[in-house]
Copies of this chain bind each other. A is one copy, B any other.
Amino acid sequence: MQILLTNDDGIYAPGIAALKQNIQDLGHVTVVAPDVEQSGVGHSITFSHPLRIREAHLDNEFIGYSVNGSPADCVKLAIYEAMKNKPDVVISGINMGTNVGIHILYSGTVAAAVEAAIMGYPSIAISFEISGRYDDIHSAAKVARDIIKRIITHKLPKGSLLNVNIPSIPPDQIKGIKVTRQFAHDFKENFEKRIDPGGKAYYWLLGTDKRLHREEETDIHAVNEGYISITPLLYDLTDYTMQKKILDWDWKGIVS
């Protein structure tokens, strides 16, 4: 089993190290990850500057390849150039912080998995809630490993993507697994306006209190309730309901 492992927190982040350590027994793991943190980059790709792949070491030990690009760049470059054997599964994470609701759209972690899915590989994005309650990434990685193993057993189809979010509570207190859908509403994230010493305004984006969102069967609700959420994601954004509706609109006379 060939496993490509990436993330958006960068190759030296604790989440990817913990996950790598825990999935060694599942197959041959190749790490190709951004050289620096890429959180919030969304599904960006790099065509304005050339990409480089470098061997990365930690404590004199080879840990994988770093790329001066986005998580999606890493997946593309890993599969086209860095890996001798094509991956059987692509895993992205563990991200520090959930990727639920519309944050899925901003997430480099999910974007890496989407890129893999587009390229036809089964992929899994894994994120771990940061809540201040419990932050042991090593026990989260053990849970992640068991989920990955189960997914592999069930043979995730090519081009499928599962977005996994683990709540920040001790594993023995996690209530179970819920297959969920994306919470698809605005988080109403606002800005904090501040004035700099020169008298000019600047704005910090403020996070949302995710515990406020209580819509049943959604990813965010499952995690809030102490469950692991697993949401399958698509990269076809077409709104088929709306498509049928606007087909009936009068489009005549705009051009010839």
Contacts and interface: CB of A to CB of B under 8 A. Distances in A.
Interface in A167-220: 171-177, 179-182, 184-186, 189-191, 193-194, 200-205, 207
A160 B249 CA distance: 15
Given A53-B203, A146-B254, A146-B255, 10 more contacts: A40-B44, A41-B44, A47-B205, A52-B201, A77-B203, A105-B237, A157-B242, A177-B254, A228-B255, A232-B239
A118 interface: yes
Nearest to A169: B255
A228 to B, nearest CB: 7
Interface residues of A, number: 87
17 contacts: A40-B44, A40-B47, A42-B43, A44-B106, A45-B205, A47-B205, A52-B203, A80-B190, A81-B191, A118-B186, A120-B186, A150-B254, A160-B239, A162-B246, A172-B256, A174-B255, A233-B237
Contact of A179 (B53, B76, B177, B246): B246
Interface of A: 39-48, 50-53, 72-73, 76-77, 80-81, 102, 104-106, 111, 114, 118-120, 143, 146-147, 150, 154, 157, 160-162, 171-177, 179-182, 184-186, 189-191, 193-194, 200-205, 207, 228, 230-240, 242-243, 245-247, 249-251, 254-256
